[in-house]
Amino acid sequence: MADSRTPVSSIRNLGPAMEASCARAGIHSAEELAALGTDETYRRLLQTGARPHFIAYYVIEMGLQGRPWNDCKGKEKERLRARFDALVAEAHDPGLSELERTLDQIGVRPAPRRSSGP
C-alpha cells in the first residue's frame, strides 16, 4: 500500500530544511503539521533543539494559511511576535508556573537584573 501522507515541504514556504527539522520533532507529514498548528509545531521544534528564529515561526503560520512568507505585516506580525516570544520563554524556562509565564507575557514581572560588569 502506498504512503498517502503529503510531505511537509508541500506546504507553501516550507522547504527541505524545515521538513528535516519537523522530522526530528516527530512531524512527518503536512497533515500532521496542519493538525498541530503553528504553535505546537514550533514548540516541538524548540524541544528538539531548534534555535529560536522568529521568521521560521511566522513562515509556518503563513504557509498554513497558503500565504507568501513575507505577507506577515503590521498588527498581525506583532501578535505573532508575542506568541513566538511566549513559546520561546516557555521552552527556555520550563520551571516557571503558568501564572509566572502569563505575567511575563504581559510584562508584569520585572526583567532580571543584568550585571554592569566587574
3-state secondary structure 2-50: CCCCCCHHHCCCCCHHHHHHHHHCCCCCHHHHHHHHHHHHHHHHHHCCC
Cα–Cα distance measured from residue 40 to residue 47, given in angstroms and rounded to the nearest whole number: 10
How large a percentage of the chain has pLDDT more than 90?
Answer: 65
Question: Is 23 within a domain?
Answer: yes
Asked whether residue 118 is domain-assigned, the answer is no
36-80: pLDDT as tens digits:
999 999 999 998 888 899 999 999 999 999 999 999 999 999 999
The CATH number of residue 86's host domain is 1.10.150.20
Residues of the domain holding 26: 8-106
Higher pLDDT, 4 or 81: 81
Q: Please give the pLDDT value at position 2.
A: 46
User: Is residue 116 a part of any domain in this protein?
Assistant: no
91 or 95: which leads in pLDDT: 91
Q: Would residue 114 count as lying in a domain?
A: no
Q: Tell me whether residue 76 is in a domain.
A: yes
Q: Using the structure block, give the residue that is written with the C-alpha cell 508575542.
A: 82
What does the alpha-carbon distance between residue 61 and residue 64 come to, in Å, rounded to a whole number? 5
The pLDDT score that the predictor gives to residue 89 is 86
Does 112 have pLDDT greater than 80?
A: no
State the Rg of the chain over Cα: 16
The answer to the question of residue 53 being in a domain is yes
pTM of the model: 0.74
* Alpha carbon distances (Å) from 85 to 3, 13, 16, 37, 79: 36, 21, 25, 17, 10
Query: Does residue 59 form part of some domain?
Result: yes
Whole-angstrom distance, CA of residue 55 vs CA of residue 79: 13
pLDDT the model gives residue 50: 87
- Spatial CA neighbour of 79 closest among 54, 116, 43: 54
Quickly state the pLDDT bin for 99 (edges 50, 70, 90): confident
Nearest to 63 by CA among 115, 112, 18: 18
Place 6 in a pLDDT band, splitting at 50, 70 and 90: very high
Our count of domains for the chain comes to: 1
Is 115 among the domain residues?
no
